[in-house]
Amino acid sequence: MDTLAKILMIEDEPDIRAIAKLALEAVGGYTVELAESGADAIAAYERFQPDLVLLDVMMPGMDGIETLRRLRSAGGGREPAVVFMTAKVQRHEIEQYLALGALDVISKPFDPMTLSTVVQQIWDRRNGAAG
Partner 1 sequence: MAPQADPDDSLARQLRALRDSYLAELPDRLEALAVAWSTALEGERGAVARLRQLVHGLAGSGAVFGCREISTAAAAVERRLDELLDAGSTSAADLLPLAPQLDQLASIGWRYASNRSTAEQTSATSSDSSRPSSA
Which helix (H) or strand (E) covers residue 86, if one does? strand 82-86
For residue 13, the minimal CB distance to partner 1 (Å) is 5
Task: Give 60 or 77: the residue with its C-beta nearer to partner 1.
Answer: 60
Contacts of 106 (CB under 8 A, 6+ apart): 54, 83, 84, 85, 86, 115, 118, 119, 122
Query: According to the binding rule CB under 8 A, does residue 39 interact with partner 1?
Result: no
Nearest one of 90, 87, 21, 81 to 58, comparing CA atoms: 87
Interface characters, 84-103, with partner 1 (x: CB under 8 A):
---x----------------
Residue ranges that bind partner 1, judged by CB under 8 A: 12-13, 15-16, 18-19, 22, 26-27, 58, 60, 87, 108-112
